Amino acid sequence: MENQMRVVLRAILKLYKLVIRLPDKSTPSEIRNNPRFYPYFKDCIEALDETHVPASIPLSIQGRFRSRKGETTQSVLAAITFDLKFSYVLAGWEGSAHDSRILSNALSSPRGLKFRKAHNKYEPLLNKSIDHYDEMALVVGRDMATGIFAKTFADINLDDGN
């Protein structure tokens, strides 16, 4: 079986220039031709999302793979182009893993998810700290844990021990 897999992989590597095409960097027609999307997504070339896939997991480690809905799942992170072709897939994370942890792993891995250079007009915004990020993270974390969501800043009380 291992030899057959090796043969298939070698064949794919020989054919990849013929069958794999890098995505076009221009604005996809689905965005360019839609006035509802264009102003907001004109520089967007791919979409990124994470989903849960049901999984059969050994009983001894099922706890880590239990999603917030109580099912045993694996998290799958995927990036797709606007013509619905996968450009990146990361599978196998525990269903209980937080999205940010999976994304962080994908970005830090040597062969992981890579973003193209940002549009020049967004360059000044890259690698800048976000004012009040820690406070916002506390509010979002508290709201997610309790299910009680703040409507305005007046609803937020960071000093109540939560």
- Token readout for 151 is 């409507």
Q: Is 110 helix (H, G, I), strand (E, B) or coil?
A: coil
Residues sharing a CB contact under 8 Å with residue 24, sequence separation 6 or more, in sequence order: 45
pLDDT 10s digits, 61-85: 888 888 888 888 888 888 887 777 8
Cα distances (Å, whole numbers) of residue 144 to 16, 77, 100, 147, 150 = 44, 21, 14, 5, 11
In tens digits, the chain (162 residues) has pLDDT values of 567 778 877 887 777 777 666 666 677 777 888 888 887 887 777 788 888 888 888 888 888 888 888 888 888 888 887 777 888 888 888 888 888 888 888 888 877 777 666 566 666 666 666 666 667 766 666 666 666 665 565 655 655 554
Write the DSSP symbol of residue 57.
-
CA 142, CA 158: separation in Å to the nearest integer? 10
CA 103/CA 11 separation, integer angstroms: 31
